[in-house]
Structure 1
Amino acid sequence: MAELKVDAEPEEVGFDAQRLQRVVSHFRRYVDEGKLAGWTVAVARRGRVALHAHHGLADVEAERPVADDTIWRIYSMSKPITSVAVLMLYERGLIELTDPVARYLPAFADMRVYRSGSAANPGTAPAAEPIRVWHLLTHTAGLTYGWHHAHAVDEIYRAKGFEFGAPRGMDLAAACDAWASLPLLFEPGSEWNYSVATDVLGRIVEVVSGQRLDRFFAEEIFVPLGMDDTAFSVGPDELDRLAGLYMRNPEGGLLRNTVMGDAATREPTFLSGGGGLVSTAADYHRFAQMLARGGELDGARLLSPHTVAYMTRNHLPGGADLKEFGRPLFAESADRGIGFGLGVSVVVDAAAGKALTHEGEFAWGGLASTAFYVDPAAEVTAMFFTQLLPSSTYPIRPQLRTLVNQALVD
């Protein structure tokens, strides 16, 4: 089991210790006021952990406190892992970023684009441009999520059983075939829309590698990095480590969501590279450190530093940010001053985004209010784990950045 231990006094790595404690005192109030059940936070600089703290309960009903080994549903924090898997295959010459997706998944050969009409009777036209691998990595493919509730195509996804995840019993291959039969929201490459694109990437990993996605992740990423507790489900003997999943109760306090929460206790048929993983703070810290160190950790190199630098630059056409290029809907990121790389958001203008951070910071988060970021300019990584749906409930992510960065004094 990976361990996450404080191995540096804050002053040793350029933090003011009292200021860094503001991270803890601020988020303690979330628990004390009944907004969150419990949380874990970890902050490292130059590869050394200066803060690792817990507060509150992992499981309210069982009165079980958050612990070092608590297992969290990371939802869309699965996406950077899947994107790294694709880039590993890219480095081996097995995939080109410009390849049409149909080269690997033939169902995507003749896509049609929504033009007008209702979900029940949409008007469509043939796509002028094929979906390419880089479109999937950047969420510019024209795919969507059923839970957006913003467009007729979203409604079409929901009608087919794709709101959160896939219909019961459907595997990843069948889900991709189903998505390929639905209209695109827009011409590939012309806009940004948060979507099932990363799940499609997971299927490409399976086709190219000849392995199921869980097997590829385990052999190529989790075992080399020592991420022993990261998987698509929690085994029966580890259920007492799994955090409860909660939602805000309009009448005050929290409501447990067992329908979505219990999904992590069963081996899934649908291996979602876009949102299916569970992990621990210690495990995800190792993944974040691998990226912060340019693709290598403790002798295990997953990517070249040149590939990591390429992954974490803005790939939106014309250097646009998500405000300019994206649909006005929720994603796991702010939009103004934020671009998008190959699987992660990228800060392109911190002043425009009114966020206390640095250009080049890359990040992503998950549906249950988890988050991580890597700030190469400040040499900082930070992570926050809790289990509250949805992640738009409270401004945890910008507050985490502000509280960490205000504590930097060199």
Structure 2
Amino acid sequence: MAFRDSGSPQMSRRGLLRSGALLGAGAALGGASFTRAAFAQDPARWAHVARLARQYVDARKLASVVATLGWWQMAPDTVAFGSLTLGQDAPATIDSLFRIYSMTKPITGMATMMLIDEGKLGLDQPLAEVLPKFADMKVQKTYDGSITDLEPSARPITIRHLLTHTAGLGYSVVQKGPIAAAYIAAGLVPGQVSKLPLPAAFGRGTSVRSLEAFADGLAKMPLVAQPGTRWVYSVSLDLLGRVIEVVSGLPFDTFLKERIFDPAGMGSTFFQVPASDLARLTTNYGVLGGTLLPIDPARQSVYADPPAFPFGGAGLVSSARDYDRFLRMLAGYGAIDGKRVMSEAAVRLGTSDLLPAGADTRGTFADGSGFGAGGRVGRGEQAGIYGWAGAAGTVGFVDMKRGLRATLMTQYMPAEVYPLTQEFSRAVLADVAAMAGQQAAA
């Protein structure tokens, strides 16, 4: 996500999984022998999650918190507190709309995996074979240093690199110095926050007006690291939007709608919220001095207007129900409600560790873990867990081995103001552990 939800050491908005709590789900479940009855719908069993959500809403730290939690292909339980907007009566529900920002990335990642599965792309195919302007890239000799002191790229950028943030591309809100300024000046800002003039912490710059222009502009920029050598949170998933439309012959947003959203029954996931659905849109808040200030009111939302282009790394608005359906489709290895959306092979590959051999993740959000198609994946006893979060406090993950899936929706920025994603992870695990204990005692 643009807007500083990076996992780099200097930016902590991506607290989801970093503490290890979320990726500890496997340990909490390991060895438990659950009967199907143990998973019958019952929101009351998510007592720790409900307590956490209520605490934040009752203290007016957040306007709303909505969580969906489910197992395998069963319908989700819902925990929901608060209203769409502070001071109004309309309650937040499983069908309310939230800006999911970087939770867009796994969706774009899985769209890429579909094309790889169909033989239209190769995982290790050079990007320049699809976008020739990336054939002769230059790299900063010093990370975030001069943009004129450059060296040739030692190897081509590949699709794998784009999926795993190891292409050497940058992010205007992660990089510093002249490279960040160059990105902003060139309009390489793939995201939006508000129509209001906001401090730089909430995002800055005006984007170019098409995916093609975005890709062409990136091709002129120096890379911040040699491809395949370093994990750098980046605009690579946004660039994959251009790859997808070139390879598929469809506009990127059309591809997502026709190939993922419609087949998976995700009718509330949009790059632009239709006027008929604005009544379901939450307000996004900035937390300033401990006070919630509306930075993107629903009725005047920037998401009511067409975006500069469909941002594959940060652009979607969705509901807790819809994102749970995306995770449920993954948990079904590509199928949901008897309908196949992706092949099992594509899901298995996309939720596996795709990091190139030798890529340096030390000191980054990916340190100690793997990385799949647009989302972090666990290793060891945490293997099978795939997930990512967004800059406005949202998070979603699925445990592919044990069938657990969880989504948290809320709206506040900057996300590091509260430790909510870590607390949500721990609350989910506490409830799962309680279920395991009850099952063992039965």
**TM-score, normalized by length of structure 1?**
0.87
Q: Which amino acid aligns with 1:374?
A: V
Q: Secondary structure at the match of 1:140?
A: coil
Q: Is the 8 A contact 1:77 1:366 kept in 2?
A: yes
Residue 298 of structure 2 corresponds to residue 272 of structure 1 = no
Residue 406 of structure 2 corresponds to residue 375 of structure 1 = no
Whose RCO is larger (CA < 8 A, sep 6+)? 2
1:327 to partner: Cα distance: 5.7
**Partner of 1:385 in structure 2?**
409
**Pick from 374, 377, 397: which aligns with 1:343?**
374
Q: 1:66 to 1:162 in 2, by over 3 A?
A: same
Aligned residues: 386
**Partner of 2:256 in structure 1?**
217
Bigger shift: residues 397-406 or 107-116 = 397-406
1:14 to partner: Cα distance: 8.4
What RMSD over aligned residues (CA atoms) do the two structures have, in Å? 2.6
Q: Is the 8 A contact 1:193 1:327 kept in 2?
A: no
Q: Distance in 2 between matches of 1:182 and 1:319?
A: 25
**TM-score, normalized by length of structure 2?**
0.81
Q: Is the 8 A contact 1:374 1:381 kept in 2?
A: yes
**Partner of 2:361 in structure 1?**
325
Ranges in structure 1 where 5+ consecutive residues have no aligned partner: 1-8, 329-333, 351-357
Q: Distance in 1 between matches of 2:294 and 2:392?
A: 12
Q: 1:237 to 1:259 in 2, by over 3 A?
A: closer
1:245 to partner: Cα distance: 0.8
Ranges in structure 2 where 5+ consecutive residues have no aligned partner: 1-34, 192-204
Residue 95 of structure 2 corresponds to residue 69 of structure 1 = yes
Identity %: 36
Residue 285 of structure 2 corresponds to residue 285 of structure 1 = no
Q: Secondary structure at the match of 2:258?
A: helix
1:236 to partner: Cα distance: 1.4
Q: Secondary structure at the match of 1:47?
A: coil
**Pick from 392, 396, 399: which aligns with 2:423?**
399
Q: Distance in 2 between matches of 1:131 and 1:11?
A: 49
Q: 1:336 to 1:94 in 2, by over 3 A?
A: closer
Q: Distance in 2 between matches of 1:259 and 1:105?
A: 38
Residue 123 of structure 2 corresponds to residue 80 of structure 1 = no
Q: Secondary structure at the match of 1:23?
A: helix
Q: Is the 8 A contact 1:111 1:180 kept in 2?
A: yes
**Pick from 54, 58, 83: which aligns with 1:57?**
83
**Partner of 1:248 in structure 2?**
287
What are the residue-to-residue correspondences of 1:10-409 with 2, within 5 Å?
12-13=38-39, 20-49=46-75, 51-60=77-86, 62-116=88-142, 122-150=148-176, 152-163=178-189, 165=191, 167-168=206-207, 170-250=209-289, 252-258=290-296, 262-318=301-357, 325=361, 328=364, 334-349=365-380, 358-408=382-432, 409=436
Q: Distance in 1 between matches of 2:296 and 2:96?
A: 18
Q: Is the 8 A contact 2:43 2:77 kept in 1?
A: no
Bigger shift: residues 58-67 or 108-117 = 58-67
Q: Deviations over 1:214-262 (max 9, x none)?
A: 1111111111111111111111122111111111121x22111139982
1:193 to partner: Cα distance: 0.8
